[in-house]
Structure 1
Amino acid sequence: MTGHFPWITAHTGCMDTLDNTLASVEEGIRLGADIIEDDIRVTRDGIAILAHDDIWQSVNGRTIQISALSFEELKSVEVIVDYAGKTGKMTFSTLEDLLLLIKGSGRTVNLDLKVNEAIDAAAALVHKHDMLDQIFLSGCGADRALLAQQRHPELKKLLNADSEHFLNRSYEEALEQTVSDALAAACFGINIYHEFVKPELIEQAKANGLKVYVWTVNDVSLMKHYAALGVDSLTTRAVEDLVQLKKSMQQ
């Protein structure tokens, strides 16, 4: 392993919790994750909430669209969750709720933006609670990363590597484009699906001063592999396994 062990990022819905819930945030913090990741969308009236999708089914059979409802209309709606092998019910939590938990814990939060409107909504709350040092943005392809840089250059952000580049172009071309896009938008690093990570990506990123954050790695043997490659962060739902691996590798 090169350098320090990668930062442990708790994917939303880590362990046995439901995605986009405060219970997931609390579990990541409890288990010792360095970074907590969650998905951010915006209601019709601009309230940032924790949600991966725009469309949901309520427990009484209604179709709910987050972007079409005010938070007042949405906040008491209970929806059905059937995602990542877990089922349940939940009501929506706000980004402000999340930030207050993170601020008290001293951890860092990765805000995975699902819509452009979330940029301004997130920035307003980050400034309200004086948390510039505890947050960064992800979910930013090249266009969203540039937009975030134009609107709020003070917010740190990762470039989400475009999977299409790595699927449809040579690895060298995809890598060159990814690094170029990250630098153009003043990103501090690259957020990339683990299957696209090779040693040359690590080398090129480091040569350009970019961190490499890898998602989503739930298998212990793969955790060992990417830790040995020298990535800067591993995102996982299996936080407890990654915490135990860190302890064993550091010993």
Structure 2
Amino acid sequence: MKDRFPLITAHSGSMNTFDHTVHSVQMALQNGADVVEEDIRVTRDGVPVLAHDDEWLTTEGEHISLSQLTYGELKELRFEVTQGEQRKTIQLCKLEDMLPLIQASGKKVNLDLKVDESIEPTTALVKKYGLLDYAYLSGCEADRALLAQKLNPEMRRLLNTNHNLFRTLPYRDALVQTCEEARAASCFGINFHYSIVNEELMDYTASLELPVYVWTVNEEELMRKYANLGVASITTRNLAALVQLKSSWGL
């Protein structure tokens, strides 16, 4: 057992809440998360909103692309979403709706960018709320990470792993290239799907001082495995189980 537990990162929609809602953020902060993860897209007029997908179906049955609407147009729309057996009508939230909650909590936020256009307006809001030390970007494979470095070098970022490398190259070659990409874009760490991570990877990234963040781990046995490997963060929807595991370590 390691003497340091990974950061507990709450995936959007943890605690059986709906993704991309203020309630989801509030519940994560109130129930033991160190970091809250949210997906970010931007409207046509550059307003960052909490959303994984660009295409949505309104309660009126209209298919819309949020990137083609201004925020003024988008805020008038409602969307019926399903999560598990639950259904709910929601309005898409602005990033600016959640940042004051992060600011007040003293916790951190992982902003998972879905498009390049979100880099600058997202960083501008992070600066506005004085959260440069409490926020970082993810969703950045090599090209986006390099662009983020060029546009806003002061904004911290994780490299997101290109899984195709691990499908097409020998494992060691894919690992070396991934770490080279992270260092080229001055990323402070690397975001891996947990299935890629093993002791070889942990040893190699440690030698380069590149912390390993893993997503999305919902099974308790896997949480224990990756905590014992020494990853820096575990992203989960099963927040209560990860908090309980941390407690069992006496931390």
User: Aligning the two structures, in what range does the TM-score lie when normalised by the shorter sequence?
Assistant: over 0.9
Change (3 A) 1:144 1:24: same
Matched residue type, 1:75: K
Corresponding position of 2:177? 177
Moved more, 77-86 or 207-216: 77-86
Deviation at 1:67, TM superposition (A): 0.3
Please say if 1:124 is aligned against 2:124: yes
Corresponding residue number in structure 1 for 2:60: 60
Matches within 5 A, 1:73-112: 73-82=73-82, 87-112=87-112
Q: Which residue of 2 aligns with 1:144?
A: 144
CA distance in 1, matches of 2:134, 2:219: 28
- Counterpart in the other structure of 1:43: 43
- 1:206 is displaced (CA, Å) by 1.1
- How far does residue 223 in structure 1 lie from its aligned partner after superposition? 0.3
- Structural mapping, 1:1-251, within 5 Å: 1-82=1-82, 87-250=87-250
What CA distance in whole angstroms lies between the structure 2 residues aligned with 1:119 and 1:85? 34
The alignment covers a number of residue pairs equal to: 251
What are the Cα deviations for residues 204-229 of structure 1, in whole angstroms up to 9, with x where unaligned?
Answer: 11111111000000000000000000
Q: Which amino acid aligns with 2:242?
A: L
Query: Structure 2 CA distance, aligned partners of 1:82 and 1:140?
Result: 28
Question: Post-superposition shift, 1:80?
Answer: 2.2
Distance 1:249 1:66 in 2: 44
SS at match of 1:246: helix
- For 2:209, the aligned partner's letter is G
C-alpha displacement of 1:86: 5.1
After superposition, the CA RMSD in angstroms is: 1.2
Once the two structures are superposed, residues 12-52 of structure 1 have per-residue CA deviations (whole angstroms, 9 ceiling, x without a partner) of 01021111111110110011100000000000000000000
Q: State the SS of the aligned residue for 1:14.
A: coil
* Identity between Structure 1 and Structure 2 (%): 49
Distance 1:55 1:187 in 2: 30
Q: Offset of 1:84 from its aligned partner?
A: 6.3
- Deviation readout 1:59-79 (Å, 9 max, x if unpaired): 110111110000000012111
Q: Deviations over 1:110-133 (max 9, x none)?
A: 000000011001111011111101
Counterpart amino acid of residue 65 in structure 1: S
- The two structures have a TM-score, normalised by structure 1, of 0.97
- State the alpha-carbon separation in 2 of the partners of residues 69 and 199 from structure 1: 46
